[in-house]
Chains A and B, each alone.
Chain A
Amino acid sequence: MTHPKETWWVALIEVGVIINLVMVAFAYTTWLERKVLGRMQRRFGPNRAGPFGLLQPIADLVKLIRKESFFPASAHEIPYILAPILSTFTALAAFAVIPWGKGWTVHGYYIPGVVSNLPISLILIFALGSIGIYGYIVGGWASDSKYAILGSMRTCAQLVSYEVSLALSVLGVVLMGQSLNLVDIVDKQQTTVWFFIPQFVGLCVFLLGGIAETSRPPFDLPEADTELVAGYHTEYSGMRWGLFQMAEYINMIVLSSLAVTLFFGGWHFPWVPSLDKFGPIWFCLKLAILVNAFIWLRASQPRLRYDQLMRFGWKILLPAATINALVTALLVVWVK
């Protein structure tokens, strides 16, 4: 057997497939969320468009695209239009480095299990997440509305606070995996143990910080549907609003896939190595479980007050993440 060829256009096709799959995943996450929330509140959720309301995301998309994109007269045009695009772009781009399979050889061409196998892919994801925050800040500021700017200030404060603990919480995984490359971390977990067992504190901090980072309930202070207007996207409507919404949901999916990758063995199936060739299936299953947990959390817990949010972030999560990283570092050195 000849050595499989690696070509640039395979990655290009993969990019197209992944982006479209993520978009579909986003659309059906909204459907799933409405459905599960509905059942948890003893309602049906969407059930009119198609069987089980399965065409609902498509109907929503058509509605959003056809809707008038209201444009405030005093808005700063270019940042106003670019902000949602930026947020969506960074959310989608993060998927380039998440491994979802082992890699296959088809007709002599090698198809890798990740679009781009970077040595610092974990840092890239956090960097993209931080750039995505600019979308929220700029969007709120460019709308030239006091509600939008107040909302974007809240978002900004929350995201910056929780990003610290989020980044610190994965430090333990990086120390144990001896790499910043997500592919290496996944492989390391298969040879040792899935990191959610030794890094349980890290997982808890990561999930809590991640929920706050994606501003999902109960940390949805930036939007707070019941008490604020709508936060940073007050002045947005139509598909521009849809893009912000898309960024939020895709961030949630990215975060869940990152949790799967870092703590739950990525695309591996436990104990049975021969099943690893169905990597994407296990990856999607784990992802679906986590996304459902996010929705479950939304249905169950009330929103935090702003001071509680800040206190929780700085006084509980940050020390917990720091101590976890320190203890892990000491143990890694000591075991060696």
Chain B
Amino acid sequence: MAQVVPNTLKGFGVTLKQVFKKPLTQQYPEYKHPVYPRFRGRHRLHVHANGLEKCVGCSLCAAACPSDCIRVVAAENTPENRVSAGERYARIYEINLSRCIFCGYCELACPFDAITLGNDFEISEYNRDDLIYDKEMLLKEPVKKVPVADRSLYDTPIPYYRSHS
């Protein structure tokens, strides 16, 4: 019982001490904390050095996707219209990012490393339709980029698709 008053006063001291310290909050839109190098964010579709798309429209990514958010419609490459390096190419390639859970299975399933998950997470929109990314959007550089932490800080292997492409 005798400890009640000193302990109560001690509590006041603890809170008062914090007032003079700098807040720990990171002010998000002004300061973007660098994401982990292997952070899984918005998808990218890749092209070969000669400009041909890597995707051959095999739909393995769509088959691997647990939330069923990828839609691929393939078409044959012709000598006049060669889009990809393979026999076929993806005429339609859509990812519904409102359903995507960013598990990265599409990346693992892809035999040509055509799709990878980037680092960008600022992909919210006011309209659900805007979250369906088509092939052109996925091929382009992302509009909003987030800082990525220096890879050398982390003991993380470089994925095969990054080192061999």
Contacts and interface: CB of A to CB of B under 8 A. Distances in A.
A294 to B, nearest CB: 12
B25 A44 contact: yes
A146 interface: no
A300 interface: yes
Interface in B1-37: 8, 11-12, 14-16, 18-19, 21-25, 27
B23 A44 contact: yes
A43 to B, nearest CB: 5
A40 B19 contact: yes
Contacts, number: 33
Interface in A266-320: 296-297, 299-301
Contacts of B16: 40, 296
A43 B15 contact: no
A38 interface: yes
Contacts of B15: 40, 296, 299-300
Q: Specify which of B8, B15, B19 lies most central, judged by the most chain A CB atoms within 10 Å of its CB.
A: B15
Contacts of B11: 300-301
Nearest to A40: B15
Contacts of B19: 36, 39-40
Interface of B: 8, 11-12, 14-16, 18-19, 21-25, 27
Contact of A40 (B8, B18, B24, B27): B18
A100 B82 CA distance: 86
A163 to B, nearest CB: 24
Sort A-B residue pairs by CB-CB distance and give the 8 closest, nearest first: A300-B11, A300-B15, A40-B15, A299-B15, A42-B24, A300-B12, A39-B19, A42-B23
A264 to B, nearest CB: 20
A41 interface: yes
Nearest to B9: A300
Interface in A22-44: 36, 38-44
Interface of A: 36, 38-44, 296-297, 299-301
Q: Specify which of A36, A297, A300, A301 lies most central, judged by the most chain B CB atoms within 10 Å of its CB.
A: A300
Given A40-B16, A296-B16, A300-B11, 18 more contacts: A36-B19, A38-B23, A39-B18, A40-B15, A40-B19, A42-B18, A42-B23, A42-B25, A43-B23, A43-B24, A44-B23, A44-B25, A44-B27, A296-B15, A297-B12, A299-B15, A300-B14, A300-B15
A43 B15 CA distance: 12
Nearest to A301: B11
B21 to A, nearest CB: 6
B8 A301 contact: yes
Contacts of A299: 15
A44 B21 CA distance: 11
10 contacts: A40-B15, A40-B16, A40-B18, A42-B18, A42-B23, A42-B25, A43-B23, A44-B25, A296-B15, A300-B12
A41 B24 CA distance: 9
Contacts of A40: 15-16, 18-19
Contact of A42 (B12, B21, B27): B21
A299 B11 CA distance: 9
Contacts of A300: 11-12, 14-15
Q: Specify which of B16, B23, B27 lies most central, judged by the most chain A CB atoms within 10 Å of its CB.
A: B23
Contacts of A43: 23-25
A300 B11 CA distance: 5
Contacts of A36: 19
Contacts of B21: 42
Contacts of A38: 23
A39 B21 CA distance: 8
A300 B14 CA distance: 8
Contacts of B25: 42-44
A330 B92 CA distance: 94
A39 B16 CA distance: 9
Contact of B12 (A39, A41, A296): A296
Contacts of A296: 12, 15-16
Nearest to B11: A300
Nearest to A293: B12
A65 B95 CA distance: 40
A300 B12 CA distance: 5
A41 B23 CA distance: 8
Contact of B18 (A41, A44, A297, A301): A41
Nearest to B8: A301
A300 B17 CA distance: 11
A8 to B, nearest CB: 47
A50 to B, nearest CB: 16
Contacts of B23: 38-39, 42-44
